[in-house]
Amino acid sequence: MAALRDQLGAVEAEGSTSQQGSSGVEVVLHSDPATPAPLCPHGPTLLFVKVSQGKEETRRFYACSACRDRKDCSFFQWEDEKLSGARLAAREAHNRRCQPPLSRTKCVERYLKFIELPLSQRKFCQGCQQLLLPDDWEKHLEHQVVGDISITQLKRPSQLLYPLENKKTNAQYLFADRSCHFLIDLLSTLGFRRVLCVGTPRYGI
């Protein structure tokens, strides 16, 4: 056990040494609740600072918290930048245009109606990635639609939804059932009771 602690200590020391001379971008913890972070289409942004040879540059900036590639989300704002009312209004309008057609509330309402349908009427459009109610069927006649959607399938949406594959925004690891059971058994044997799963939508089974 002591040897393991020594090895971990050596790894941490090596990591801290390499960070001192590293270059890149780091997240800055925003400590002033009176000045909330600006919003991009994906939600509240994060405050970043560029680091060169272990030293922070003086000017910090806000960027998207979800997308690491400016091609996916071009939001950028200097921390000390003052925006005009017109630019703020234009940003809010852009954020609204980028939102999904259905709000979270509408999706929940649709789901509750969907599970009340008999099995033969439960359909899912793979092209639109959407649960279909009877009033929607005509609009999706030429789409690839899957029928007889069971409650078991709904509890495992990764079996229905197409995986998002953009590694800089939506990277996911879809483990097979065998792998999920192995990992869960391993964590349980090691005594872990709480696990944070990031980018692993099939892990909780």
As a whole number of angstroms, the distance between CA 152 and CA 115 comes to: 11
Give the chain's mean pLDDT. Answer: 82
In this predicted model, what pLDDT tens digit does every residue of 28-84 receive, in sequence order? Answer: 887 677 788 999 999 999 999 988 776 767 789 999 988 888 888 999 999 989 999
Q: Which tokens belong to 176?
A: 């097979």
Q: What is the per-residue pLDDT for 108?
A: 93
* pLDDT value at 91 more than 90: yes
Q: What is the per-residue pLDDT for 16?
A: 47
As a whole number of angstroms, the distance between CA 124 and CA 131 comes to: 5
CB within 8 Å of 68: residues ≥ 6 apart: 168, 169
Q: Which tokens belong to 189?
A: 């044997």
The radius of gyration computed from the CA coordinates of the chain, to the nearest angstrom, equals: 23
Q: What is the per-residue pLDDT for 18?
A: 47
The identity of residue 134, as a single letter, is P
Chain-centre distance for alpha carbon 40: 14
Structure-model confidence comparison of residues 182 and 16, the more confident one: 182
* pLDDT value at 1 more than 60: no
pLDDT band at 21 (very low <50, low <70, confident <90, very high): low
* 26 and 48 Cβ atoms separated by less than 8 Å: yes
Which class for 134: exposed (0-12), middle (13-18), buried (19 or more C-beta within 10 A)? exposed
Q: What is the per-residue pLDDT for 124?
A: 94
3-state secondary structure of 146: strand
pTM, rounded to two decimals: 0.60
In this predicted model, what pLDDT tens digit does every residue of 94-116 receive, in sequence order? Answer: 999 998 888 889 999 999 999 99
* pLDDT value at 191 more than 50: yes
